[in-house]
Amino acid sequence: MSSNQRNEICKQLLREVDSLPPRLQLAAKYIIDHANDFGLDTIRVTADKIGISANSLVRLANHLGFASYEDLREPFRISLVEQYDTAGGDSWIDRLSDSGEFGKSHARTVRNEIDIVKQSLRLLSVEKTETAVNMLKGARSAYVTATRASYALAYYFHYVGRMALPNLHLIPRHMGSPVDEMISVGEEDVLLAITFPPYSADTISALRLAKRNGTRVILISDSELIAPNIDADLFLKVSLNSLHHFSCFSGAMVVLECLLYHLVGRGGDEAQARIASYEALREDFGAYWQAKLPKLRKK
């Protein structure tokens, strides 16, 4: 067995999730969204995390053709061993733990941040990256949307991306809903939507409106199953596993940075010229602070 079998199980769950009973739907979503935890935890721990009985997990395993729950979990456990080198760890992180309890806590969160970035980049395949760049470059208009905390990610992507992609628009630009600015969105356009749990109702409305209008959708999230009737043309999964109460955006940020790198590179001389123009304009209007050198006294 290998990670290939784990991927096939997740694909089957995605295909069949809507036809499963409610408790098995919850189990399927958890396995798809938390494949690593599923490979690590016992059946009791997993059932408690989902909020269902252990028997429901056994029923799901049988539905998928496995003789037992452990047979279903085994491909996920093996995949986890393949992904991570348990002997790894940079010495500088280990040294952080020597600085008392706070140092141990700091080392723990540093390792977690690195794991989030690595996992998100691991999920960002060459094919998915190239498809996303081609969709954005080939669109009549490209829109990026997010709300609340994740709005900062959309704002940054637009702030940098518009220099390489002049037809990139941030929605909403002001107070309001993204759908207020999607009246002319159509089949020749692309919507890049960013949302994390608890998933934004405004972003979900924008996704549904886009699909109704035939607009192609790129979804950046931790799950494909964010709400009923959401069907993205391209799904870019990121890891969010934070050690505090809120989602960690490190993984999402590196995915966006990769897309920006390719957009700027594909923009060629035109993109470089636009970037130079932006920089010149900002300097002309004093956007950047500059140290003033003292005047020399005349002798």
Q: How much is the pTM?
A: 0.75
Q: In what order do the strands lie in the sheet with 168-171?
A: 168-171, 142-145, 190-194, 216-221, 234-237
d(CA 174, CA 181) in angstroms, rounded, equals 10
Cβ neighbours of 159 (radius 10 Å): 13
pLDDT tens digits, one per residue of 203-232: 999 999 999 999 999 999 999 999 988 889
- Which residue blocks in 124-150 are alpha helix, DSSP H? 126-138
Cα separation, 153 vs 50, in Å, equals: 29
Regions of the chain with pLDDT less than 70: 1-3, 82-90, 175-176, 284, 287-299
Per-residue pLDDT, 175: 62
CA distances from 228 to 132, 205, 216, 224, 264 (A): 23, 11, 17, 10, 35
Nearest CA among 170, 179, 237 for reference residue 210: 179
Q: Are 60 and 28 in contact (CB under 8 A)?
A: yes
Structure tokens at 84: 């991570």
Q: What is the pLDDT of residue 292?
A: 53
Give, as one character, the DSSP assignment of residue 226: S
